[in-house]
Amino acid sequence: MNIFKKSYLLILVAGLLTASCSDFLEPSVDQAKETSTAVATAADLQAVVYGILDDMNSTALYGRDLIVANEVRSDNMWSSSASNRFGAPSQHVYTTQNGNANSFWANSYGAIAIANIAIAAEVGSSAAIDDLKGQAYALRALLHFDLVRTFGQHHAVAGGTANLGVPYVTTYNEPDNFLPARESVADVYTKVLADLATAESLISTSNTSKTTISYYAVKALQSRVNLEVGNYQAAIDAADVVINSGVYTVPADQAALVASWATDESSNSIFELGYTSTNNAGTNSIARIYQNTNYGDVELNEATYDLYDQANDFRFALLGTNANGTDTQFRLTGKYPDEINGEDNIRMIRIEEVILNKAEAQARNGATGATIAATLNTLANNRYTTSPYVLTADLDDVLLERRLELLGEGHYFATQMRNGDDIAADEDPGGFTTLVYPDFRAAFPIPQSEMDANSSMEQNEGYTN
pLDDT of res. 31: 33
Evaluate whether residue 333 is within a structural domain.
no
Number of domains in the chain: 1
Specify the 3-state DSSP secondary structure of 166.
coil
Evaluate whether residue 102 is within a structural domain.
yes
| pLDDT level of residue 35 (50, 70, 90 thresholds) | low
| pLDDT level of residue 38 (50, 70, 90 thresholds) | confident
List, for residues 144-182, the tens digit of each pLDDT value: 999 999 999 999 877 655 689 999 999 998 777 789 999
List, for residues 228-267, the tens digit of each pLDDT value: 999 999 999 999 999 999 999 999 999 999 999 999 999 9
Quick check: pTM over 0.85? yes
Contact 248, 242 (CB under 8 A): yes
Evaluate whether residue 443 is within a structural domain.
yes
Evaluate whether residue 219 is within a structural domain.
yes
Q: What is the CATH number of the domain that holds 423?
A: 1.25.40.390
Evaluate whether residue 365 is within a structural domain.
yes
Evaluate whether residue 458 is within a structural domain.
no
Give, in order, the Cα–Cα distances in Å from 192 to each of 29, 90, 218, 361: 34, 28, 11, 19
Residue 131: what are its φ and ψ, rounded to 5°?
Answer: -60, -45
Strands 319-324 and 327-332: antiparallel
**Closest of 152, 227, 136, 224 to residue 188, by C-alpha:** 152
Range of the domain at 355: 14-278+345-453
Instruction: Tell me how far apart the alpha carbons of residues 275 and 264 are, in angstroms, rounded to a whole number.
Output: 9
Residue partners of 452: CB distance under 8 A and separation at least 6 = none
Cis status of the peptide bond prior to 175, with omega within 30 of 0 = no
**Closest of 11, 26, 25, 13 to residue 55, by C-alpha:** 25
pLDDT higher than threshold 80 for residue 127:
yes
pLDDT of res. 23: 38
Evaluate whether residue 1 is within a structural domain.
no
What is the total residue count of the chain? 465
Evaluate whether residue 304 is within a structural domain.
no
pLDDT of res. 428: 60
Lowest mean pLDDT of 169-178, 222-231, 405-414, 450-459, name the range: 169-178
